[in-house]
Structure 1
Amino acid sequence: MPDDLLDSASDETDLPDVSALLAAAVSGVGGAERPGQVKMAEAVAHAIDSGEHLAVQAGTGTGKSLAYLVPAVRHAVARNTCVVVSTATIALQRQLIDRDLPRLAESLKPLLGREPVFAILKGRRNYLCRHRLQVDAPEDPEEILFDPQTVSAAGRQVQRIHEWAETTDTGDRDELVPGVNEHAWRQVSVSARECLGAQRCPFGTECYAEQARDRAGDADIVVTNHALLAIDALEDYQVLPEHDVVIVDEAHELVDRVTSVATAELSAQAVEITARRCGRLIEEDLADRLKETGEALAPVLADLRPGRLDVLPQEAGVSLAAIRDAAHACATALRTTLQGAGDDAERLGAGRAALTSLEEIHDTAVRFLESFAGDLASRHDVVWLDKPFSDDSRRPVALRVAPLGVGALLRERLFRQRTTVLTSATLSLGGSFEPLARQWGLPAASNESDESDKTGESGESGGEGAPIKWSGLDVGSPFDHARSGILYIARGLPSPGRDGLPEAYLTELSELIEAAGGRTLGLFSSMRAAKQAAEELKGRIAQPLLCQGEDSTSQLVKRFAEDDATCLFGTLSLWQGVDVPGPSLRLVVIDRIPFPRPDDPLSSARQRAIAARGGNGFMAVAATNAALLLAQGAGRLLRSMDDRGVVAILDPRLATARYGSFLRASLPPFWTTYDSATVKAALRRLDAS
């Protein structure tokens, strides 16, 4: 423990312990303490006190938000410090800020001696920019990519933003309901690089983003998202307030969110747009030179096959080097121009936007060129060409680059810097925390506890710096899975193929839905499969059937929840984003094990890298990702103590393949059967009741 924490440790003796605070918090929200919640709160408190990282799995209904917020608030108040809580979804952010934290603060105020302060902080792009709103966005050459109808629609959305701007107190994009598309929002917001800075901006004292940062600086608990947490770790400048503890909720999504932030892309259109953006601010021949490099890149990319690139073709290398040099020359000239702009805020704003684009183009071109240095085993990035499908022609052909892994980044910039608690309903895969721990960059476990204890694993890292210590804890679930749910594995069906859903799958699915009286959430591995199933079954079943894409996902889920007979089919966002307790959901159907596509550039590269080091790339990457999604999908079934139903997995490989035991061990402990008749009879009884 650092010396400054030792000096202030006596402050803790003046406050009630975590168990007393948790009891007050639970009473304040009108709930009842659960054994798993108490166990988790005590473990979080121990992690904060000891500095040992904690991964804690807490099933739906445990009350994990209070279990980590109570010790976090106690620590923040006792040490006069800040604790950061990071989430993956807007829904959880809103739950914490609008419901959990206000009630918690009110309940704990008498015991803590003051009311805890909390705030939400997002990236600057999420806030309305008053300066951009007043002077309008710099002329956006990207509008040439859109047809007039699209531009007009964006104009109407921008007008609605202007009207909302007259009433908003926060400027937070998420408070604008209904929302607007990204093209419209870009007209009224700026990135951190584009921002003029509070001192130079005429609206600096009224800046929504700066006001949010000020509130966060005074808060005990700051709620943010995984993306901003990643930016705080990736960038050399500080984004979040000073803090010594991070709690990562929805931690199963941390690796994907950090990877997304660390991913860059480059297209011919992006280069040409950047050239036009700086064209009026620097010498015309410099901007024309950059524009020409973009035009030269287009045919080079058109000739490449989509997918992962292990070797950089000579023509692509020459084109990227030309873009790098032209962007550097433009940026150098533009910086000189900006130095002479004085207090001309409008010119400064346009210049900062152009300079940001130039720097991104330059840095991305450099990253592409450096990604191919050395042999395959020593590379840290994966490069691939992304060509859109014909029905998405507005999305340009682009080169993309992403880190092969983010474990080293998280290890050095998160776990070595501050105490971290990672929590989710799904962290233990195949009965172990290690599959996700490896992806996070945590060291291998040194021991395993027995199954009944489930205190998980602990380990410490060698290498540079002090050892990294962590432990895993599964506090279980309040649900009696074996009595409340059935896991049906359709062992008698054929293995899935590449040519859509087999007829046997459609027949089994329709019979299951009829037995359940509708009430079905269909989770498919692709949108193609979801649409095929919806089209085929609409003529076979009597119940209403909705398919993702027919309306906004939120509206579809709302309609599904309001009508017991309705079925809803969809893909990835439904696997993790649906919370429908009660009789509207009695059957969750999963069409196949959700392995990554074999040609997925990032997944295949990660598997290859692990295999090159002597590991099992398939199990470490493909099977781990599939297990995580399966557990999340199966978790849609039981959302309240009264829920009952069936999770049906149509893919027989879950029962027959060697990796099936690992995947089954990742699922909730439902009663398992392979008998279709038994399952349909159970569903009919549920429907009748």
Structure 2
Amino acid sequence: MSNRRRVGARPGPASWGWAGNVCFVPADKSVRSAPPGVRELLAHAVKAVGGAERDGQVRMAEAVAEAIRTGEHLAVQAGTGTGKSLAYLVPAIRHAVERDSTVVVSTATIALQRQLVDRDLPRLADALAEPLGRAPTFAILKGRRNYLCLHRVHTGAPEEPEDTALFDAFTVSRIGREVKRLHEWSSDTETGDRDELVPGVSERAWRQVSVTAKECLGVARCPVGTDCFAERARAEAGRADVVVTNHALLAINALQEHQVLPEHEVTIVDEAHELVDRVTSAATAELTPAMLSTAARRCGRLIDAAVADRLLECADGLSLVLDDLPPGRIDRLPTAVGGAVAAARDAARACLTALGPDHKEDVEGATARKLTRSLLDEVHDTAVRLLESFEDEQADRFDVVWRSGDSFSASPRPPALHVAPLTVAGLLRDRVFASSTTVLTSATLALGGSFDTLARQWGLPPSPARATEVAGTATGKTPPSDDSGPTWTGLDVGSPFDYRRNGILYVAKQLPAPGRDGLGAATLDELAELIDAAGGRTLGLFSSMRAAKQAAEALRDRVRYPILCQGEDATALLVGKFADDVRTCLFGTLSLWQGVDVPGPSLQLVVVDRLPFPRPDDPVSSARQRAVDARGGNGFLTVAATHAALLLAQGAGRLHRSGTDRGVVAVLDPRLATARYGGFLRASLPPLWPTHDPRVVRDALRRLDAAAPD
């Protein structure tokens, strides 16, 4: 084994040498050439952390090890309670130590990143140090914008292009106080990681002390490059056995020409049900009048004023045409909009030409030029992409374009043009699956009983078992054979929870179908009766914030239990209050469908007001539905039903967070029982005991309430 410099997150033996966050580990000649097997290592790890062996966890660990050995990709559905983090980390660490290589673990949420780095990996490093001959090492890596830039701290941020006169004195002074606090924090922090700053600061303040990858001078030119937090994080990641990152950075690594992540043979994608949305978001660009104005102001004294003024004129022109353009998807580019975008493209190109190539100059001048060039490139490239999106016939387009912004809402947003990919399957197939063995895992992957629905979105071909699973898929049609793509296997290891014994799926079949005018009287009556029977203890998951607020306002006068509503305080604080008081109810929308982990008697009833289909006017999902229809498929089932199935399964998963949890998932939308797509959605849920009888459900909730501690 080579004597590599390794990253440590915890103090090691006395013989180890530490320098900042970097641990220098002496070579250990006693290390065996072949580490113990995965099953033996998993048993050792589980015992060390005080756990119990679970069949699903063992099956998953062995499957991950086999995928790493053969290079065949793997999709694993592992229900809550399986212990999937250990199941993929143990074989990943074994491979990294044996091959002296790096494994990348990508997550969707900061919460899981923190769980891995702060709890799971430190415990595993301690547990596996003896059988592996050394402690495994790990690091966390994020996009450059997430780290403090010491150069900007030391030299001061260039004058922000936004006109501070638009903001009141309090806002300006608050940002000033936040920037001052950031400067003080820069002397104390060891990582410069924004997430370690508590409490946090506003985005405008953080922009004063951070840079994007395109704005960075580079370690060779930057006067404080050797102390750069982002470069240090990248260097440490390159020496670690396991690198924890996020789906956004995984997408950026696939999108860019140069590699952002360290060289690796294995990629593990946790929370894989969110991969497509996160990659789509990273691949989406926007063009706004404010961007053009900002770019013009950044040009400042760097180029001739007349050239820069062209961009300001384009900002005014784009603003005018966007004001006349209604929000929504754009299928045919209006002449005026196309002319404004083309003018912005040409003006940005003229500014870039006037700016010329970089020269050896003072660092302050180099910084201003770099920031200016970065934004000009973004304006130019986005304008080009917007125009090229309309060059092909509608059926052959790769991107969808829309205008956002609503000047009539309570919180008006300025108009903007957006462009997003219709699919990211090709990107994932060519730049992720083709470059490393990939394991995708989540509690929700087999939709309608099949992995193929999500596999298509990831760019993987239909599974070999496809012929026997047609009835459970979104389209109900056997797709064309495709043996040229990456090979992969799907595995559902189940969950240790006894869902049928401990949970009820109640579909309120007797209620009217939900309409567009908010929650009906019958739905509110049903919700009130369920909460009364449960004695509070209710998580209400609503399709919109409007519905959540309507329900909270209506029911506070009808039930005797406290009702919290998302938006009334920080979501984390509301969830904390909900968990602490078993009689409290919590109502909210999207982030609560996936972000609540409250085991025990505080949560015994999960209520879903309506099936969570995407909005009909959502530009990306509606364009994707149309594209599927054009190819002869069923766009609604393939796109909208998949979206609903994922969210519904995630929402239902809030009920069982431990093996002793019991309760009811109540869906107040009769379409789950009556619509033809209901079977697909129900097959995506945990196997709860089903009923349509409201009396059975209320009696069960009363028994649970009577037996639960207060």
Q: String of CA shifts for 1:160-179, please: whole Å, max 9, x gaps.
A: 22222221110000001111
Deviation of 1:393 after TM superposition, in Å, equals 4.9
Supply the distance in 2 between the matched residues of 1:641 and 1:402 (Cα, whole angstroms). 42
Supply the distance in 2 between the matched residues of 1:147 and 1:646 (Cα, whole angstroms). 49
Counterpart in the other structure of 1:34? 54
In structure 2, the CA distance between the partners of 1:62 and 1:449, relative to structure 1 (3 Å rule), is farther
Counterpart in the other structure of 1:606? 624
Counterpart in the other structure of 2:703? 685
Deviation of 1:459 after TM superposition, in Å, equals 11
**Does residue 1:169 correspond to 2:190, yes or no?**
yes
Deviation of 1:655 after TM superposition, in Å, equals 0.3
In structure 2, the CA distance between the partners of 1:278 and 1:245, relative to structure 1 (3 Å rule), is same
Supply the distance in 2 between the matched residues of 1:332 and 1:81 (Cα, whole angstroms). 44
**Does residue 1:233 correspond to 2:254, yes or no?**
yes
**Does residue 1:46 correspond to 2:81, yes or no?**
no
Supply the distance in 2 between the matched residues of 1:666 and 1:393 (Cα, whole angstroms). 36
Deviation of 1:332 after TM superposition, in Å, equals 2.0
Q: String of CA shifts for 1:159-207, please: whole Å, max 9, x gaps.
A: 2222222211100000011111211111110000100111111111110
Q: String of CA shifts for 1:302-328, please: whole Å, max 9, x gaps.
A: 111111101111111111111001101
Counterpart in the other structure of 1:476? 494
Check whether the contact 1:461–1:467 (CA below 8 A) recurs between aligned residues. Answer: no
Check whether the contact 2:582–2:602 (CA below 8 A) recurs between aligned residues. Answer: yes
| Amino acid aligned to 1:399 | L
Supply the distance in 2 between the matched residues of 1:687 and 1:516 (Cα, whole angstroms). 6
Counterpart in the other structure of 1:665? 683
Check whether the contact 2:606–2:652 (CA below 8 A) recurs between aligned residues. Answer: yes
Supply the distance in 1 between the matched residues of 2:163 and 2:452 (Cα, whole angstroms). 47
**Does residue 1:115 correspond to 2:115, yes or no?**
no
Supply the distance in 2 between the matched residues of 1:285 and 1:68 (Cα, whole angstroms). 59
**Within 5 A, what are the aligned runs for 1:269-280?**
269-280=290-301
Counterpart in the other structure of 2:216? 195
**Does residue 1:367 correspond to 2:385, yes or no?**
yes
**Does residue 1:570 correspond to 2:588, yes or no?**
yes
2:494 counterpart SS class: coil
Q: How many residues of Structure 1 are paired with residues of Structure 2 in the alignment?
A: 669
Q: String of CA shifts for 1:125-149, please: whole Å, max 9, x gaps.
A: 0000001111121111124454433
Check whether the contact 1:77–1:220 (CA below 8 A) recurs between aligned residues. Answer: yes
Counterpart in the other structure of 2:539? 521
Counterpart in the other structure of 2:12? none
1:142 counterpart SS class: coil
Counterpart in the other structure of 1:254? 275
Check whether the contact 2:462–2:482 (CA below 8 A) recurs between aligned residues. Answer: no
Counterpart in the other structure of 1:553? 571
Counterpart in the other structure of 2:238? 217
1:30 counterpart SS class: coil
**Does residue 1:544 correspond to 2:562, yes or no?**
yes
RMSD value, Cα: 1.7
**Does residue 1:101 correspond to 2:121, yes or no?**
yes
Deviation of 1:391 after TM superposition, in Å, equals 4.3
In structure 2, the CA distance between the partners of 1:493 and 1:655, relative to structure 1 (3 Å rule), is same
| Amino acid aligned to 1:472 | G
Supply the distance in 2 between the matched residues of 1:443 and 1:146 (Cα, whole angstroms). 52
In structure 2, the CA distance between the partners of 1:393 and 1:652, relative to structure 1 (3 Å rule), is closer
Counterpart in the other structure of 2:334? 313
**Does residue 1:501 correspond to 2:501, yes or no?**
no
Check whether the contact 1:445–1:460 (CA below 8 A) recurs between aligned residues. Answer: no
Supply the distance in 1 between the matched residues of 2:135 and 2:356 (Cα, whole angstroms). 47
**Within 5 A, what are the aligned runs for 1:403-418?**
403-418=421-436
In structure 2, the CA distance between the partners of 1:657 and 1:467, relative to structure 1 (3 Å rule), is closer
1:265 counterpart SS class: strand
Supply the distance in 2 between the matched residues of 1:447 and 1:511 (Cα, whole angstroms). 45
**Within 5 A, what are the aligned runs for 1:127-146?**
127-144=147-164, 145-146=166-167
Q: Which runs of 5+ in 2 are unaligned?
A: 1-30, 473-477
Q: String of CA shifts for 1:90-139, please: whole Å, max 9, x gaps.
A: 01001111111111111111111111111110000000000111112111
TM-score, normalising length from structure 1? 0.95
Larger mean Cα displacement after TM superposition, 55-64 or 140-149: 140-149
Supply the distance in 1 between the matched residues of 2:692 and 2:94 (Cα, whole angstroms). 49
Q: String of CA shifts for 1:603-625, please: whole Å, max 9, x gaps.
A: 11000001100111111100000
Q: String of CA shifts for 1:392-437, please: whole Å, max 9, x gaps.
A: 6563200111000100110111111111000001001111111111
Q: Which runs of 5+ in 1 are unaligned?
A: 1-10
Counterpart in the other structure of 2:663? 645
**Does residue 1:184 correspond to 2:202, yes or no?**
no
| Amino acid aligned to 1:190 | V
Deviation of 1:450 after TM superposition, in Å, equals 7.6
Deviation of 1:460 after TM superposition, in Å, equals 11
Identity %: 67
| Amino acid aligned to 1:162 | H
1:77 counterpart SS class: helix
**Does residue 1:19 correspond to 2:1, yes or no?**
no
Counterpart in the other structure of 1:350? 368
Supply the distance in 2 between the matched residues of 1:151 and 1:459 (Cα, whole angstroms). 58
| Amino acid aligned to 1:545 | I
Counterpart in the other structure of 1:387? 405
Deviation of 1:210 after TM superposition, in Å, equals 0.6
Check whether the contact 1:59–1:424 (CA below 8 A) recurs between aligned residues. Answer: yes
2:94 counterpart SS class: helix
| Amino acid aligned to 2:701 | L
Counterpart in the other structure of 2:615? 597
Larger mean Cα displacement after TM superposition, 353-362 or 387-396: 387-396
Counterpart in the other structure of 1:322? 343
